[in-house]
Amino acid sequence: MATVSTAEIIRTADQNAGGNVELSLNALPNECPLCHVTIEPEFLPGARLVFAFDWVEAYYRCTNMKCRRHFTALYRVVGQNGPRRSCRLERCDPAAPQPPAFDPVIETVSPAFMRVYAQSTSAEAHGLAEIAGPGFRKALEFLIKDYAIQLNPGHDDEIKRGQLAAVISKFLPGDKLTIVSSRAAWLGNDETHYERRWVDKDLQDLKKLISATVHFIAMERLAADLPTEMPPTGPVAAPTS
C-alpha cells in the first residue's frame, strides 16, 4: 500500500464510548485502493474519524475524476503522548486487486492459473494472507501441470495425478525452469502445511518465484513458436493478385 508520509496530521475523532479524542496520523494513502491511481485523497466533507479501541477509521474520496469513489483508511493506534494518540496507516478498504500483468501467452497455457491467481490476489488484498497462500500454491500447480500436458501429449493422466515435484522433475524442460518452479513448489507447500520449513521466506517470496516460473514458460513458448513464425528460409512472400 502506497502512502504519503507527513510530519504530522492532526484530526479529531469520535470515540465509540462518547466524547472526542485527538489523533496524530502518520501518513495519508496516496493510491486509491479501487482504481490504483496515484492521488492526494480528500477527506469526505463533514466526515469525522471514528476511534474504537486500537483502531481509527478515516473516510476519503478518490480524486481521480474517472473514479471518485469513497474508501476507508484503517489506522492502528501505536502510542500516546498525553491526550494525543499516534496512529499508523495499516490498509485501505475496500480494495480491488489489480489483475496480474503476465505475458498474454500464459492465458493460452493455463486459463485456470490466471483465474486462481487473480482470486488469490484478491484474498491477499483483503488481508486474508492465510487463505491467499494456499491459493497461490494451487495456481502454481495448474500452471505447471497445464504446461506439462501441452509439452507431453499422451501423459495427461500421469501428470494430473502426479505430485507436483515429480511432474516438475520429469516433464518440464530446461534447468532454469526446473530450478525456479521446484523452489516455488517448496514455498507453496509451506503455505499449506502445519509447519513451515523455509521460515525465512514468506508469501512475497512465493509470488516472486511464481513470476519467475511464468517468465521462463513465456520465453520457452516464444522460442518454440519462432521457427514457424520466422522460418530460416525467410519471410513468406505475400500472394500476388
User: Would residue 218 count as lying in a domain?
Assistant: yes
* Residue 158 Rama label (left phi>0; alpha psi -120 to 50; beta): alpha
**Tell me, what amino acid is at 126?**
H
- In this structure, the answer to whether residues 162 and 219 fall within a common structural domain is yes
Domain residues for the domain of 80 are 3-93
- In this structure, the answer to whether residues 129 and 215 fall within a common structural domain is yes
- In this structure, the answer to whether residues 59 and 156 fall within a common structural domain is no
- In this structure, the answer to whether residues 109 and 224 fall within a common structural domain is yes
Burial of residue 90 (CB within 10 Å: 0-12, 13-18, 19+) is middle
- In this structure, the answer to whether residues 42 and 136 fall within a common structural domain is no
CB 78 within 8 A of CB 88: yes
CB 136 within 8 A of CB 173: no
- In this structure, the answer to whether residues 133 and 30 fall within a common structural domain is no
| pLDDT tens-digit profile, the chain (241 residues) | 444 444 446 565 555 555 567 888 888 999 999 999 999 999 887 677 788 778 888 999 999 999 999 999 999 999 988 778 889 999 898 888 777 789 999 999 999 999 999 999 989 877 888 999 999 999 999 999 999 999 999 999 999 999 999 999 999 988 999 999 999 999 999 999 999 999 999 999 999 999 999 999 999 998 888 888 888 888 877 666 5
- In this structure, the answer to whether residues 58 and 149 fall within a common structural domain is no
